[in-house]
Amino acid sequence: MGRFHKSISWNQPTESESGQQNAPAHLWDGDDSTSSNSNTSFGLANPWSHNTSHRSFFLPVHYSENYQYPLLVWFHSNGFNEHQIDQVMPHISLRNYIGVGIRGTKAVDSVGHRFDWHHSPAGIATAQEAVLQAIEAAAERFSINTSRVVLAGYRDGGTMALRTAMREPDRCAGVISLGGRMPSGSIRNIQQLRERRMPMLWQWGTENTQFNQQNLKTDFQICMSIGSRVEVRQYPGNDEMTTIALRDLDEWTMRHVVADSSIKDSDRWASSPTLYSSN
């Protein structure tokens, strides 16, 4: 079985799932001075979260200050919050990265536990600033390699991760989207992106309604215009949030971002020459 246990809800967390009281010892909440009350300050009457300090850190097992870790910045799916990283990272790797989850830009419930990514100019700017602040905070607190920062997100969070990476190509070593499409709209820094040739991994469930030939063609045209290096991986079913997909996320990152990694391609992706007469 490649999927998570059914008790884990990715899109509609309960209040207990969003809380911090059951967090493992290797999880760190961002900005201690505000984290205890951060979830109560954004109700529907004031849905915009302009405070970009809401984040959750995930430290690897046997964390060592003598090693510069890659930093994985996680964009949660709509209807969740920055603590989604607490559930995701153990299935990606317990040792390879320092992770940080950032909060969506718009509250969608009355108690401020659930957030969406709003793709308005204000929402995009807020998300971009949250990523930059998260990178700076991680560099101040922990031992990270700032040249190995990877953005990754699930569904609409994947789209925002792609958008942010294209706006900050010199700050990102790669970007990964699980079921999120390429963002629409004009690209203002085409020459910078062409020089950067951003590595991208797109992970799609074959039954995801957004996964079709026309959408892929449109998204590939955007990538061709900016010279990105894209790898697309498909998975059975309508959901990309599986242990197999997250394991592939780790493998791809270690190969394309961590240059001195000993990780090699899995046999599942290997191929061998076939004679034409054998086809």
Average pLDDT for the chain:
81
Nearest 10 degrees: Cα torsion 182, 188, 191, 192: -80
| Residue 39 · residue 111 · CB < 8 Å | yes
- Could you tell me the pTM of the whole model? 0.79
Tracing tokens 């992970």 back to the chain, one arrives at 203
- Banded model confidence at residue 38, pLDDT cuts 50, 70, 90: very low
**For residue range 249-274, what is the model confidence (pLDDT) as tens digits?**
999 999 999 875 444 444 544 445 54
Residue 11 corresponds to which amino acid? N
pLDDT of residue 185: 81
Q: What percent of the chain stands above pLDDT 70?
A: 74
Dist. CA 160–CA 125, nearest whole Å: 11
* Neighbouring-strand partners of residue 201: 176, 231
- Banded model confidence at residue 112, pLDDT cuts 50, 70, 90: confident
The structural domains of the chain, ordered by start, are: 23-261 (3.40.50.1820)
pLDDT of residue 26: 52
User: In b/e form, how buried is each residue of 141-179, taking b as 16+ CB within 10 angstroms?
Assistant: ebebbeebbbbbbbbbbbbbbbbbbbbbbebbbbbbbbb
- Banded model confidence at residue 191, pLDDT cuts 50, 70, 90: very high
The more confidently predicted of residues 64 and 39 is 64
* Neighbouring-strand partners of residue 178: 154, 203
**For residue range 56-105, what is the model confidence (pLDDT) as tens digits?**
999 999 999 999 999 999 999 999 999 999 999 999 999 999 999 999 99
Q: What is the mean pLDDT of residues 170-199?
A: 93
Least confident of 16-30, 113-127, 213-227: 16-30
pLDDT of residue 45: 33
